[in-house]
Structure 1
C-alpha cells in the first residue's frame, strides 16, 4: 500500500511540474558502464533479443529514488541499417501483485538526439534538463498501468546512438526488448507472456513500426501481441517536413529529423547545406525536442540548403531516407490497432492549407494517418480510428491516453476488437518520393 501511495503522489508531482515546465533536477553525466557492451564475443554472434547483462535498480522520478523496482536489461538488437547494436530496456515492476502472463510495452516520446535523454538513463537517475523532463512526465502515463498490475517494459527505442525518427530502428529495438524482457531473470515474464503496445507521438513511431515489422522480423513476438494503441503518428516524413516548414512551434523538428535520419543511415548532407543549414545541423546534434524547437522557430528547408536544392526531392540522400521511413510502403500489422489523431493544428501554429497535406495536429498529418489506417483495413487488420478535429498534438494525447488503457484491457480480456474499417475518410497519397535531381 505504501508503494502505491508513493507512486501515485509522486506521479501527480511529475505531471504538475512537467506541465509547468519545471523538472529542474540536477544534471549529471551519464557515464554508466552498463550502457555499453564489453563482452569478448562479437555482438553479431548473439541473436536479436539476446540478454547481454542485467541489473536491478530503483525507479527514479526527478532524480528521486522510489520504492518501485526496475530490471534493466542490456540486449542485442538491430539498427536502421541492419547492423547489430547493444541496447537497453527497463522492466518496471508493479507495486502490488503483478498480472499473470500479461505485460505492456510502453514506447516513450523522449524525442532526442542525445542518448542522455534515453528512458533507461532517466529511470536510473540521470537527469539532463530539459531533455529528461519528458521521461519524468511520462510517469503519469505509466503509473495507471502499474497500478492495474501490468509490468511495463520501456525500451530505448532510438538505440544507443539516439537515432531520432529512424522508424525501422524504433521497431526492431522495441521487438527485441520484448524478447529480452521475456527471457531475462528477475522480470517475472517469460516467452508465453502476452504483450500490448502503447505509444504516443515519438512513442507511436516505435509502436507502429514494431507492429508492422513483427510478422517478418519477430514472428515469435507477433504471436504474443494482443494489440497496439498509438496517437499522433508520423507516417510519411517528407510530408511532415513540408507541413511544419516555417511554422512558429514545430518548424525546429525538421532539422532534428534530418539529423536523426542522416545519423541512422550514415548519410552525408553537408554538400547540400547552406552556411546557415550547416550551423543549424551542427547545433542540433545533441538537442532534446524542447531545445530543438526553441532554437529554430520558423525555419524552412530552403534556409537550410543551397539555392539549387530548394526542392527537397532534388537531394538524393533525403529522398532515399524519407522513402525508407514511409510507413505506407511497409507491410501492415496483423494485430488489432487503435489509432487516434488530432487535426486542430492551427492551435499550435500549423495551418492545414498546404497542397496535398491538409489538416494535422500541428506536426502530424491527419490525411496521412487516415490513408495508413485504410491501407491496414484493406489488408485485413482490425483498426479503430478516431480523429479529434478540434485538438492539436498536445491536446489529443489526453483523450488518447484515457481511451487506450480500456482498449488494452479489453484486448487482454480476449474481447473482439472494435473496428472503424469502412468508415474512415480518404486521406493523402503515401506514394514514395521521386528523385527530381539529375
Structure 2
C-alpha cells in the first residue's frame, strides 16, 4: 500500500459512517424513516466497509511505522487562532479507530434483533452512528481542538442513550446526571486547550512537546481533569452505575468498551506533558490507584450484573491510568484493546446470566464456591463490617455529589419559583373553553366516523 492509498483509506474510513449518519438522520427529520431492514443494511454496509479500510490502515502503520496524515485545510482563522482539520493515524490512533469500527459494527449487528420493533429503533442507530463518528474523530484527530469536537459528540450521544427510555423519569434524570458530569470535567479539557494555544500559539499534539515544566504542569493538569469525567475516575465515579439505565448494547459499547476508554486514550495522546512533569505523572498514578481500589471494593457488593461490570470497567481503567503514569504506553494500549473486547462480550451476555449460572450449577452438581474468602483470613471481622458498609454506601460519593448538586441548584430553584409566580400574574386564568375535549368512552358509537 502506498502513502496515497493509505491517506485515501483513512479519509474513506472516516467519511463512510458520516454519510450513513447523514442519510439516516435526514430521513428521520423529513418524516420518512426507512424500514428496519434498510437501516440494518445501511449501518452494516457502512461499518463493514470502514472496518476493512481501518484494518488495512492499521496494517500499513504496523509495517511501515509511519503515521498517515490527512489535512482538509483551515476552515476557521480568526485573530491568530486557526482551526485545522488534520487527521493523523499513528499506532495508537489507527488501533483505536479499528477498535471503534469493530465494536460499533458488532453492537449494530447485535442490536438489529435486540431492538426489533422498539419505538426508538431509528433513534438508537442515529445515536450509535454519531457515537462511532465521535470516537473516530478522537482516535485520529491531529489537534486537541478537533479532538474536543469528537469528545463532545461522544458525550452528547452517551447522555441521550442513557435517557433512551425517556418515558420513565429515572433514565432522564440519570442521563442529565451523566451529562452534567461530562460538562463539568470537559471545562478542564477546554481550558487546557486554550492554555496550550496561549503558550505555543497552536493546539496540535506536536506543540505539547515544546512546553516548559511549569507550563506542562498547568496544561497537563487541566487535560487530566478533563479526562476524569468520561473515565469515571475518582471522585467522578457515581454517574457510571446510573448510566446503565440505557439499552444493554449501548451500555456495552459506551461503558464497557469505547467511551470509558476515551479517558486513558486522551492521556496517551498528551503523554508528552506527563513526561515533562513527573509531579503530574505521579498524580495520574495516584488517581488510578484510588479509582481501582474504590471500584474493586464497591463492585463486590453490587446486586445487579450491569452495575458490577460497570465498576469492574472502572477498576481496569484505573489500572490503565497507572500504566500511563508510569510510562508503559504500549502496555496501556494493549490493555485498552483487550479489556474493551472482553467487557463488551460480558455485557452483551449479561441478560442470560441466570441461565448460565444454572448450567454451571447443573454441571458441577453443586453451587460454585464463594469468592473473596482470602479477605476473611487477612481482615478482622470488625474491619470487614466497616468496609462492607463503606462499600455499600459507595464511599459516600453518591451522597456527597447529591448534596453538592442540591446546594448549587438552590438559587436556580428560587429563581424558578419567582419566575413562575411572576408569570402567573400576567397569564389569564384557564377557562373551561381551554380544557381539552373529553374522549368518548370505549364502545360508544361516535356519529360521523
TM-score of the aligned structures, taking structure 2 as reference length: 0.34
Instruction: Tell me: higher relative CO, structure 1 or 2? Use CA pairs within 8 A at least 6 residues apart.
Output: 1
**Counting helix residues as a fraction of each chain, which structure ranks higher?**
2
**Counting strand residues as a fraction of each chain, which structure ranks higher?**
1
TM-score of the aligned structures, taking structure 1 as reference length: 0.35
Which protein has the larger Cα radius of gyration, Structure 1 or Structure 2? Answer: 2
